[in-house]
Structure 1
Amino acid sequence: MSSLHIFATAKKKKMSLDKILSITGKPGLYQLKNKAKSGFVVESLLDKKTSIVGINHNVSVLNDISIYTYSKEMPLKEVFKKIADKESNGPTINHKVGKKELEAYFNEVLPDYDEERVYASDIKKVIQWYNLLESNGLLSAIDEEE
């Protein structure tokens, strides 16, 4: 992921998944606030603390993440929409439940997900991220992108 892409998408006025980041080694999700000399200024969706993330960190933009299905790669925002539809735009199960429960839930939401390439840890992240977006009132960002 190039930093140029992240900076270019950060100029949009509306909140979107282009400004929501997952940072390897850091818990939760982060909202891109601005660029800094040495990286990015981000705000944690967990505790609302602002910090600077260096360019050397592995950063993923949620809008660029997809989930493997047997027929195609489904963009994460579409998976979030399916969860939102199932949960009437409310919170979903806790991401800390057991592997079997996570897989059963995900199978209800996305019945054709590729069980060999989508691990329980991936499902756990998707559920956690969905609940973070929901609790921060950011699920509407998915619809704004359309």
Structure 2
Amino acid sequence: MLKTILSISGKPGLYKLISQGKNMLIVETIDAAKKRIPAYGHDKVISLADIAMYTDAEEVPLTEVLESVKKKENGAVASIDYKKASVDQLHDYFAEVLPNYDRDRVHTSDIKKLLSWYNILINNGITEFAEEAATEEEAATEE
């Protein structure tokens, strides 16, 4: 599911990949407006499935981190207000979600962005984060 959910640098929110054109992508906002816009080759576009968070040992895929937040919040939106919370509150919250995260390389802005994305996804009915990864692993083991 997260392979088609995109983040575009310089644009707020998250976008769903609709179509591909010549030198651009057609994306749709993930909110009630469902506004379609082009994303050009010069825009920095990244799929949420390609993002990982730093830990002391290795990088953890964003899908696992989102699943961990979902488990902590019982599938509801984040209980912490990332806009008003202090730096220490955000890091304490994130330590509960991902205990061994790298405190030097994971910045407060990264935690805020993660919680923002999590809330956007939950508010728009996208709650299956790890499903696709599990399906891909099963397909790889069958080969």
TM-score (norm 2): 0.86
Structure 1 segments (4+ residues) deviating >2 Å: 141-145
Q: Secondary structure at the match of 2:130?
A: helix
| Aligned residue in 1 for 2:138 | none
For residues 121 and 112 of structure 1, the distance between their equivalents in structure 2, rounded to whole angstroms, comes to 18
Asked whether 1:50 is paired with 2:36, we answer yes
Matched, 1:94 2:75: no
CA contact (8 A) 2:63 2:129 kept: no
TM-superposed deviation, 1:55: 1.2
- Match for 2:8 among 17, 23, 30? 23
- Partner Cα separation in structure 2 for residue 141 and residue 77 of structure 1: 5
Residues in 1 aligned to 2:10 and 2:129: alpha-carbon distance in whole angstroms: 25
Pairing partner for 2:65 from 79, 100, 103: 79
Q: Tell me by how many angstroms 1:63 deviates.
A: 0.4
Please report how far the alpha carbon of residue 144 of structure 1 lies from its aligned counterpart in structure 2 after TM superposition. Answer: 4.2
Change beyond 3 A, Cα 1:110–1:141: closer
Q: What percent identity do the matched residue pairs reach?
A: 42
Structure 2 residue 46 is matched with structure 1 residue 60: yes
- CA shift, 1:94, in A, is 2.6
User: How far is the alpha carbon of 1:111 from its aligned partner?
Assistant: 1.0
Could you say which residue in structure 2 is the equivalent of 1:4? none
Contact 1:94 1:128 in 2 (8 A): no
2:93 to 96, 105, 108: 105
Determine which structure has more spread, i.e. the larger CA radius of gyration.
2
Q: State the partner residue of 2:137.
A: none
* CA distance in structure 2 between the aligned counterparts of 1:61 and 1:123, rounded to whole angstroms: 17
Moved more, 40-49 or 26-35: 40-49
Q: Corresponding residue for 1:35?
A: 20
Runs of at least 5 residues in structure 1 that lack an aligned partner in the other structure: 1-15
Backbone CA RMSD of aligned residues: 1.3
Q: Which consecutive residues of structure 2, in runs of 5 or more, have no partner in the other structure?
A: 135-143
Number of residue pairs the alignment of both structures matches? 131
Equivalents in 2 of 1:117, 1:72: separation in Å?
12
Q: Secondary structure at the match of 2:114?
A: helix
